[in-house]
Amino acid sequence: MNPIIAKAIEEGRYKLLEHESFELLRQYNIPVPDFALVQDVDEALRVVKDIGYPIVLKVVSPDIVHKSDVGGVILNISNDDELRSACERIRSNIKEKAPYARVSGFLVQKMVPEGLETIVGATKDPIFGHVIAFGLGGVLVEVLQDVSFRIVPVSEEDARAMIREIRGYKLFNGYRNMPARDEEAVVYIITRFSELLSDNPNIVEADLNPIIILERGKGAYAADARFIIGIS
Amino acid sequence: MEPQSQVQSGKSVELTITSPLDLLFNPRSVAIIGATPRENSVGGVITKNLLTKFKGKVYLVNPKYDEVNGTKYYKSVLDVQDEVDLCVIAVPAPAVPKVTDECIRKGAKVTIIISGGFSEVGEEGARLEEELKKVALNRIRVLGPNCIGVYNAFNGLDTFFLPEDRMGRPKPGPLALISQSGAVAGAILDWAARRNIGVGLAVNYGNKLDINEAELLEYLAKDSRIKVIVMYMEGLKYPGEGKKLLDVLREVVGIKPVVVYKAGRTKAASGAVKSHTAALAGNYEIYRAMLRQAGVIEADNLTDAFDMAKALATQPLPRGNRVLVITDSGGMGIQSVDALDTRGLQVPELSESLQEILRKQLPPLAVTRNPIDLTGSATDAMYKFVLDTVLPTSYVDMALIIALMQIPGLTINLGNYIVEARRFNKPIVVVSFGGNEYVAKFERHLEESGIPVYHAPHRAAKALWALYEYAKIKGAIRGWVA
């Protein structure tokens, strides 16, 4: 069993922590923004020298499900002063809105440049096993139900077909003044994600949300990830 | 896997190695346990079917009879002297485990258990099914229980217990049907028989205690008499079997086309609202994903499935998506273009030089761009001229021919011209619509000569789409972009 997942199970957690999710993705060469788990503001100031601004600061806690709802995420921090006050602000937000939550630390994460936001998700179906879903991010996925599915293992060809199947695919080729997007980078992420799922049958649910797709040739990043482990 | 059957002469299939699945469809001898002379009972219809049609030995088993109309009845299958390849069991459910055990002891390798009253009726039935499973496991292969069994038009094996006057039997042909529902299978065969559609093999697997869709697909893929497999499915039931089915489908599709109609779609739609991907993966969506991944042609309903299947069984694969449309009705021509375009097929304008050639021969009112509208003054000869002039050119990959036979210039001879155009080795489908006997004769002539006929342009367009899709899957289309 993957040590990251083994550790979560050992600690009785059904959900991977933010940095664990990123580490798992990294093991499969799925691009994630540079990140570091830190305990305090001084450590944050140290790691940011390597990561570089702008960054996102997130609270890491096994007890908080929706970090943004409790003021646990601050975006677009661009210098040391802002970083100091962001740490302060998150601490006081948590104290006020989730006083009993255990805090494992902060995640310092490089801001990914803007791009086309998509979602790659997975569920585990009793009959078919892992199923991967792909769709555009945000409201579109909800309102239009513009999602395609494939059963793991998903080949490169399958991944390409599932990307092209959604109605919003037109956006990949550029629209008005928006540039064409790096479709092959998403094909790569989906196939690597498929392998990750094949190797780890304990994963019952996963979301890479959002995956930010940059201009053609510039790649794509999983800017956030969530893994749910089935503890049986 | 080794091919287990081979064609020896033009018609008959001789089985060299006999696996249980071969014996399920092509037994040399069949015992009916629960045979009876009582007409219109389940066992009675099966008895009559096999006695009158089956080209092999039939042994009737029922302790209640000794002999009826000169046909011997055995007390038990164990009393039969000769070898029994296949046992058909149609006795009340509680007796099934016992007679199944007798079939095993007789040395039969496969059984069709028609009897209902198992897991489909609740706890007591489920217990009985478990008992049956224990008896059969690793000793005999089981189709069913609670199924309508096998219809084989080639050898007359017919366990469909619906009387002939209620369910017509289709002639032998290149289509095979796997149906999760027995009633639906019966209705489809009746429908196909009426329309003269050849369905060589049909099978329903009921509660799926043992033999499942995947194995049936594997067998049908190997049977060289079958060109297209049509499958009606509602849902899988055992953990993990989805992946197995996907793997098998993918393999079979590489050998011959598979057309699937999956019923029970809407439950998924309601679940697909939430942004949470867990909720997004509604049931039907997963099935559809599997079908697409496997390269299966998905049908929207049963007639749609057979519309596509008969084209796939009779037509060559196209090398591109460009369609020549010839019509004697402008309106039908427009409808066809709409339907083709919706399916991603093109109706390209013909080159000026080609149109010039057409214009010289056709009446002045005819439209030569494509669709080629011969108007109400069309004749057989005009269709022939356009077909022979345009279809062989590299401008088009297939033809959709609309022939409304109500106009006096068209005769049944048009059918011959269309059939002759098969020599260009491009797919041809025909749209015909009407009610008189002359139209029916024209259509029958075409269908019997391997040209599929449709009663609406959108159905013909869908059939061409299926050919194009399968051509893509087989890699017959160059420079394919998904």
Residue A191 belongs to domain with CATH number: 3.30.470.20
Q: How far apart are CA B331 and CA A228, in angstroms?
A: 57
Between the CA of residue A151 and those of A11, A127, B245, B288, B469, what are the distances in Å?
30, 11, 12, 10, 20
Average pLDDT over residues B162-185: 94
CA distance A175 to B348: 27
Nearest CA-CA distance, residue A49 and chain B, Å: 36
Q: Is A147–B293 a contact, with Cβ atoms under 8 angstroms apart?
A: no
Nearest C-alpha of chain A: how many angstroms from B58? 40
Same domain, A134 and A154: yes
| Residue B258 domain-assigned (yes or no) | no
Q: Is B138 exposed, middle or buried (0-12, 13-18, 19+ CB in 10 A)?
A: exposed
Q: Mean per-residue pLDDT for B439-457?
A: 95
Can you tell me the mean pLDDT for B107-136? Answer: 95
Q: How many CA atoms lie within 13 A of B187 on its CB side?
A: 9
User: Is B5 among the domain residues?
Assistant: no
A204 shares its domain with A175:
yes
Quick check: A123 and B274 CB within 8 A?
no
Q: Are residues A141 and A38 in the same domain?
A: no
Residue range B351-373, pLDDT digits in tens? 999 999 999 999 999 999 999 99
The predicted model gives B8-31 an average pLDDT of 75
- pLDDT score for B478: 52
The pLDDT value given to residue B441: 94
Residue to mutate among A66, A119, A123, A127, with most B CBs inside 10 A, is: A127
B57: three-class secondary structure by DSSP: strand
Q: How far apart are CA A105 and CA A122, in angstroms?
A: 27
Q: How many beta-carbon contacts under 8 Å exist across A and B?
A: 76
In a structure prediction context, what are the per-residue pLDDT tens digits for chain A, which is 232 residues long? 999 999 999 999 999 999 999 999 999 999 999 999 999 999 999 999 999 999 999 999 988 878 888 999 999 999 999 999 999 999 999 999 989 998 889 999 999 999 999 999 999 998 899 999 999 887 666 677 789 999 999 999 999 999 999 988 999 998 888 899 999 999 999 999 999 999 999 999 999 999 999 999 999 999 999 999 997 6
- The Cβ-side half-sphere exposure at A153, using a 13 Å CA radius, reads 9
Q: Is residue B456 part of a domain?
A: yes
- Taking the Cβ of residue A224 and every Cβ of chain B, the question of whether any pair is shorter than 8 Å is answered with no
Q: Is the pLDDT of residue B229 over 80?
A: yes
A123 and A83 fall within a common domain: no
Cβ pair B114, B185 in contact under 8 A: no
Of B200, B226, B252, which marks where a domain is finished? B226
Are A124 and A173 contained in the same domain? yes
In a domain, A27, yes or no: no
A150 to chain B, any CB pair closer than 8 A? The answer is yes
Residues B217 and B322 in one domain: no
Cα–Cα distance for residue pair B246/A22, rounded to 1 Å: 31
**Entry pTM:** 0.90
Cross-chain Cβ contact A129/B292 below 8 Å: no
pLDDT digit string, tens, across residues B391-437: 999 999 999 999 999 999 999 999 999 999 999 999 999 999 988 89
Rounded-to-integer distance, Cα B103 and Cα B85, Å? 10
Position A7 in a domain? no
Choose the final residue of a domain: B171, B192, B226: B226
The reply to whether A72 touches chain B by the CB within 8 Å rule is no
Dihedral angle sign, alpha carbons of residues B86, B92, B96, B99: negative
How confident is the model over B12-17, as a mean pLDDT?
A: 51
Domain span at residue A103 reads 34-110
Does the pLDDT of residue B462 top 50, yes or no? Answer: yes
B341/B347 Cα distance (integer angstroms): 8
Q: Which chain A residues are closer than 8 Å to B293 by Cβ? A: 150-151, 154, 158
Q: What's the full length of chain A, in residues?
A: 232
Closest by Cα among B37, B73, B74 to B52 = B37
How far is the alpha carbon of B469 from chain A, nearest alpha carbon, in Å? Answer: 14
* pLDDT at residue number B28: 96
A206 in a domain, yes or no?
Answer: yes
Residue A3 in domain: no
From residue B425, alpha-carbon distances to B107, B175, B396, B418, B465 in Å are: 49, 21, 12, 12, 17
Residue pair B371/B325 in contact by the 8 Å Cβ criterion:
yes
CATH of the domain at B84: 3.40.50.720
Q: Do residues B109 and B52 lie in contact, with contact meaning Cβ atoms separated by under 8 Å?
A: no
* A225 and A125 together in one domain: yes
Query: In this structure, is residue A11 part of a structural domain?
Result: no
* B268 in reach of chain A (CB within 8 A): no
Q: Is B360 on the interface with A (CB under 8 A)?
A: no
- Domain end, chosen from A110, A132, A151, is at A110
Cα B13 off chain centre by:
19
Tell me which chain A residues have a C-beta less than 8 angstroms from the C-beta of B244.
Answer: none
Chain A CB within 8 Å of residue B234 CB: no
> Distance of alpha carbon B10 from its chain centroid, rounded?
22
CB B374 within 8 A of CB B327: yes
- Residue B339's region, left for phi above 0, alpha for psi from -120 to 50, else beta, is alpha
Residue B479 has pLDDT above 60, yes or no: no
A221 and A132, same domain (yes or no): yes
Q: How many Å lie between the alpha carbon of A26 and the closest alpha carbon of chain B? A: 22
Whether chain A has a CB inside 8 Å of the CB on B381: the answer is: no
What is the distance in angstroms between the Cα of B439 and the nearest Cα belonging to chain A? Answer: 41
A39 with A141, same domain: the answer is: no
Helices (H), chain A: 3-10, 18-27, 41-51, 80-97, 139-143, 156-165, 183-199
User: Which regions of B173-272 does DSSP assign to beta strands (E)?
Assistant: 175-179, 199-204, 228-233, 258-262
Searching chain A, which residue's CA lies closest to the CA of residue B295?
A158
Residue A93 domain-assigned (yes or no): yes
Burial of A231 per CB tally in 10 Å (0-12, 13-18, 19+):
exposed
Residue B13 pLDDT exceeds 60: no
Helices (H), B150-229: 182-194, 213-222
Q: Whole-angstrom Cα distance, residue B246 to residue B293?
A: 8
List chain B residues with CB under 8 Å of A126. Answer: 239
Of A67, A85, A110, which closes a domain? A110
pLDDT at B17: 59
Residues B222 and B320 in one domain: no
By CB neighbour count within 10 A (0-12 exposed, 13-18 middle, 19+ buried), where does B286 fall?
buried
Chain A partners within 8 Å of B280 (Cβ):
121, 133, 135, 141, 145, 147
Instruction: Determine whether the interchain pair B281/A133 forms a contact, defined as Cβ–Cβ distance below 8 Å.
Output: yes
Q: Which residue, of A95, A110, A125, is where some domain finishes?
A: A110
**For residue B144, is it within any domain?**
yes
Partner A contacted by B243 (CB < 8 A): yes
Residue B400 lies in a domain: yes
Its domain, for residue B75, covers 13-226
pLDDT of residue B481 exceeding 70:
no
B270 touches chain A (CB under 8 A): no
* Structural domains of chain B, count: 2
How far, in Å, CA of B468 to CA of B463, rounded? Answer: 9
Of the partner residues B241, B288, B289, the one whose CB lies closest to the CB of residue A127: B241
Contact B240 A161 (CB under 8 A): no
Q: Is the pLDDT of residue B280 over 50?
A: no
Asked if residue A192 and residue A124 are part of one domain, the reply reads yes
pLDDT tens-place string over residues B69-114: 999 999 999 999 999 999 999 999 999 999 999 999 999 999 999 9
What backbone phi and psi angles, to 5 degrees, belong to B330? -60, -40
A80: CB partners within 8 A, 6+ apart: A45, A48
B272 interface with A at CB cutoff 8 Å? yes
Q: Which of B194, B226, B258 is the last residue of a domain?
A: B226
- Could you tell me if A122 and A204 lie in one domain? yes
Q: Residue B466: what are its φ and ψ, rounded to 5°? A: -60, -40
Within an 8 Å CB–CB cutoff, is residue A15 touching chain B? no
- Evaluate whether residue B260 is within a structural domain: no
* Assigned domain for A145 exists: yes
- Predicted pLDDT at B463: 98
Binary contact (A150, B243; C-beta < 8 A): no
B462 touches B338 (CB < 8 A): no
Please give the mean pLDDT across all residues of chain B: 91
Cα–Cα distance between A128 and B294 in angstroms, integer? Answer: 13
Please answer yes or no on whether A122 and B246 come within 8 Å at the CB atom.
Answer: no
Taking the C-alpha atoms of residue A185 and residue A220, their distance in angstroms, rounded to an integer, is 6
* Nearest alpha carbon to residue B77 among B32, B41, B111, B24: B32
Given pLDDT bands bounded at 50, 70 and 90, which one contains residue B477? low
Proportion of chain B above pLDDT 70, given as a percent: 91
CATH number at residue A73: 3.30.1490.20
Which of A118, A125, A151, A232 is the mutation pick for testing B, counting most B CBs within 10 A? A151
- Residues of chain A with Cβ-Cβ distance to B482 below 8 Å are 157, 160-161, 164
Question: How many domains does chain A contain in total?
Answer: 2
CATH number at residue B353: 3.40.50.261
* B421 DSSP 8-state letter: G
* Residue recorded with tokens 């022979």: B388
Q: CA A121 to CA A150: how far, in whole Å? A: 11
Report which of A125, A132, A213 is spatially closest to residue A173, judged by C-alpha positions: A213
| Beta carbons of B286 and A160 less than 8 Å apart | no
d(CA B461, CA B454): 9
- Beta-carbon separation of B285 and A147 below 8 A: yes
Q: What b/e readout covers B399-411, taking b as 16+ CB neighbours within 10 angstroms?
A: bbbbbbbeeebbe
CB within 8 A of B147, min separation 6: which ones? Answer: B112, B113, B114, B182, B204, B205, B206, B207
- What is the nearest CA distance from B210 to chain A, expressed in angstroms? 17
ipTM confidence score: 0.87
Distance between CA atoms of B258 and B469, rounded to whole angstroms?
A: 11
Task: Report the alpha-carbon distance of residue B128 to residue B124 in Å, rounded.
Answer: 6
Q: Is residue A20 part of a domain?
A: no
